[in-house]
Copies of this chain bind each other. A is one copy, B any other.
Amino acid sequence: MKPSIPKGTRDFSPAEMLKRNFIFDTIRAVYQRYGYEQIETPAMENLSTLEGKYGEEGDKLLFRILNSGDPFEKYRQAHLEIKNSDVTEKGLRYDLTVPFARYVVMHQNEISFPFKRYQIQPVWRADRPQKGRYREFYQCDADVIGSTSLLNELELIRIIEDVFDTLKIDVLIKLNNRKILSGIAEVIGEADKIIDITVAIDKLDKIGLEKVNKELKSKGLSETAVQKLQPIILLKGSNENKLESLKNVLKDSAIGKKGIEEIETIFNLLQSLKRTARNLELDITLARGLNYYTGAIIEVKPNDERSSFTSSICGGGRYDDLTGIFGLPNVSGVGISFGADRIYDVLEEVQGFPDFSGVSTKILFVNFGEEEAKYCLQLVERIREDGINAELFPDAAKMKKQMGYADAKKIPFVALIGTEEMKNGEITVKNMSTGEQSKVTMEILLHMIK
C-alpha cells in the first residue's frame, strides 16, 4: 500500500517551489515589461487539435484521455474490432504553441493584433523519462503574432538578455535565419533538399563533420554539393566576418540575401542600443530540428564556466503560418520558450538561487501554553497587519521541536513570550542566524524584521 506517482512526474516541495517560482516570476516580470499579456488554455484539447501537429513521433507521445462512462462497454464481449476514436477523443496539451494557434483562431475577433501573449503552463509527453526529461513539465512561451517587423525579433532577444541578466546566468545566444539556410541549399544546387540539409548540419555540434557529410550523401546530395557546403558549414570568425563571407557565397540567391539582410538589421538595432552583442553569435548550422521556422532561429545555451550544461535553455524563431492549420492563413509570428527545468538545474549548478531565508515566514512565536498563546495571538495579528508573514506555533510542544520547526522553514526570527514578557509588554526575540537574543518593543521588532 506504499503510494507512488507515475514515472516521469514530480512532486514539488516548498523549497523547490520557492526556486521554481523565482524562475517563473523572473520570466513573467520580463515578459510583462515588454507588453506581453498572459493567457491560459485547458490541459485537455480535442485530439483533432493535437493529432498530426507534432509529426508521427509526436502522435505517439500524446497522452490520450479515455472517454467518460464505460467506453469499453460495446467491446467488453469482444465481438468488435476496437477503434481508438471510439474510446478516446481528448488528449493532454503537448506544447503551448498548438493550443495558442487554436486559441488565436477561436478568439480572432476579440484579439487586437499584433497579439503579444505569454503562457506559463505544464505540458505532457509520454516520452521515456530520464535525467532532465519528464512526462510533465512547464513551458514558458512568449509569441507575437500578426506582425512581420524585425523589431519583434529584437525584442525577444532583449527579453532573453533581461531574463538571464536577472537570473545571473551568462549565456550565448545563437542566431540564424531559415532564409540563409534556403539560400545555401539553393546555391549548392540542392534547393529541394533544404530539410535534409538543415537536419544534418544542425547535428554538427553533436556528431561532427564527417558524420554530417555522410548523412548528407545518404540523403542523396551530390559529391559536388557536399563539397560546396564545407566552407559554409565551417564558417568561423566574428559575426561580421561570417556575414561578409555569406554575402559572397549567397550573392546569387535572392532568399539568401534577404536572410542576411534580416540578420544585419537585428545586429544593427542591437548596436544602436549599445548592446555590443558580445553574447550573440551567428551560427548557420543552427536549425533547431523544427521545420516550421521561416525566418529567425534563436537558441540560447549557458556560457558559464561553473556550468557543465551544453543543452539549450531557451529557443525560438519565426514561423509564417502557424494558424493556417486551423483555418486562419498568413498570420506571421515569432516566439521563444524558456526551459524552466533546465534553467533550474543550471541555477543549482552555479549556486545561483538567492537565499530564501525569511521569504516564507519572517517570525515564529513559540507556544509556551494556553495563556501565552492567547497573548501571542494578538502580537502575531499586529505583525500580519503590516503584511509580514508570521506564525504562532499551534501546540505547546517541546522547545526543541518548535526551534527545529523554525530551522526547517528557515524562519529568521523567533519570539519567546513567557510570564515576564507578558507582564512587561516586551518581546524576547532571537535572531536565528546570529543566535543573538534581545528584549524589544513591538515597534522595534517590526523594524527589525521588515
A434 within 8 A of B: no
Q: How near does chain B come to A52, taking the closest CB pair, in angstroms?
A: 12
A151 within 8 A of B: yes
A80-B82 Cα distance, complex, nearest whole Å: 11
Nearest residue (CB) in B for A32 is B389
B63 near A68: Cβ-Cβ < 8 Å? yes
B35 near A389: Cβ-Cβ < 8 Å? yes
Bitwise interface map of A from 48 to 80 toward B, beta carbon under 8 Å scored 1, else 0: 110000000000110111101100100111111
Q: Which residues of B contact A426 (CB under 8 A)?
A: none
Known contacts A152-B394, A360-B32, A66 near B42 by CB under 8 Å: no
A78 near B80: Cβ-Cβ < 8 Å? yes
B6 near A149: Cβ-Cβ < 8 Å? no
A77-B32 Cα distance, complex, nearest whole Å: 54
A273 within 8 A of B: yes
A144-B405 Cα distance, complex, nearest whole Å: 14
A43 near B46: Cβ-Cβ < 8 Å? no
B68 near A126: Cβ-Cβ < 8 Å? yes
Nearest residue (CB) in B for A125 is B68
Nearest residue (CB) in B for A407 is B112
A6 near B90: Cβ-Cβ < 8 Å? yes
Which of A168-176, A278-286, A299-307, A376-384 touches B?
A376-384
A409 near B374: Cβ-Cβ < 8 Å? no
Q: How near does chain B come to A266, taking the closest CB pair, in angstroms?
A: 12
Bitwise interface map of A from 391 to 429 toward B, beta carbon under 8 Å scored 1, else 0: 110110000000011001100000000000000000000
